């Protein structure tokens, strides 16, 4: 499934770059190493901190976009996001899933548009080549449902991509009841998706009808 292309406004909109300190590569690597070590120590000292406090600086080149993002940002909102990052810097880390510890690869769960802007506009990166991220370790299907929950919770998602994701989860063996629970969907929302996308076949199983009794 293709991700939406970057809006032209991201590419051609004139802007005044952030004033980023001119650090050498070694200085940046040293700063990142110090921060990540300090963050790890704090997490070990206070293990019940929520995931939002587990922020790491990770190489942006090791991050991949996911193929199931159900959220699409319109150009005006994209411009506003870029202006916010120009004026205030990165105020929210992205959420990623660790794909492989050995190869050090991550996939975006939430924050795709921030990741896209930082990738295409290095001047927005305070520490060139690195991006703040909360790192999770989830199996693929949990990664997918987590991504959808974050987008649905904000009230902005693409119906077609959400429907495609549901079909993928069904193919992975998820029951209708589990899909509805994991994605935070109720019967009315499922019925609307059926009407718009033709998902009725995916929810024809007996366990779906029983789950609402």
CA distance 80 to 204: 42
CA distance 145 to 9: 30
Domains and their CATH numbers in the chain:
8-138 (3.90.1530.10), 158-211 (no CATH)
Q: Could you list the pLDDT tens digit for every one of the 213 residues in the chain?
A: 444 444 444 444 444 444 444 567 999 999 999 999 999 999 999 999 998 899 999 999 999 987 765 556 666 677 888 888 998 999 999 999 988 766 678 989 888 889 999 999 999 999 999 999 999 888 777 777 777 776 665 555 555 656 777 777 777 787 777 777 777 677 666 666 666 566 666 666 655 555 444
CA angle 80/84/85 to nearest 5° reads 120
Q: Which two three-digit tokens encode residue 43? A: 């997490």
What DSSP assignment string belongs to 44-99? Answer: HHSTT--GGG-EEEEEGGGEE--S-------HHHHHHHHHHHHHH---S-EEEEEE
Q: For residue 124, give the 3-state DSSP assignment.
A: helix
The pTM is what? 0.61
């Amino acid at each position: 499934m293709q991700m939406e292309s970057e809006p032209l406004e991201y590419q051609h909109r004139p802007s005044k770059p952030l004033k980023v300190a001119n650090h050498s590569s070694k200085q940046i690597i040293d700063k990142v190493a110090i921060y990540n070590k300090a963050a790890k120590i704090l997490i070990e000292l206070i293990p019940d901190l929520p995931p939002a406090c587990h922020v790491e600086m990770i190489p942006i080149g090791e991050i991949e976009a996911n193929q199931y993002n159900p959220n699409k940002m319109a150009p005006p909102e994209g411009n506003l996001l870029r202006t916010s990052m120009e004026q205030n810097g990165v105020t929210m880390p992205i959420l990623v899933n660790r794909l492989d510890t050995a190869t050090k690869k991550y996939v975006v769960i939430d924050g795709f548009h921030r990741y896209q802007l930082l990738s295409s506009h290095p001047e927005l990166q305070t520490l060139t080549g690195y991006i703040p991220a909360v790192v999770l370790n989830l199996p693929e299907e949990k990664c997918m449902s987590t991504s959808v929950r974050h987008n649905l919770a904000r009230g902005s998602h693409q119906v077609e991509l959400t429907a495609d994701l549901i079909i993928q989860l069904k193919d992975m063996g998820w029951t209708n009841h589990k899909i509805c629970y994991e994605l935070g969907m109720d019967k009315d929302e499922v019925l609307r998706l059926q009407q718009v996308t033709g998902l009725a076949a995916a929810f024809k199983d007996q366990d779906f009808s029983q789950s609402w009794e």
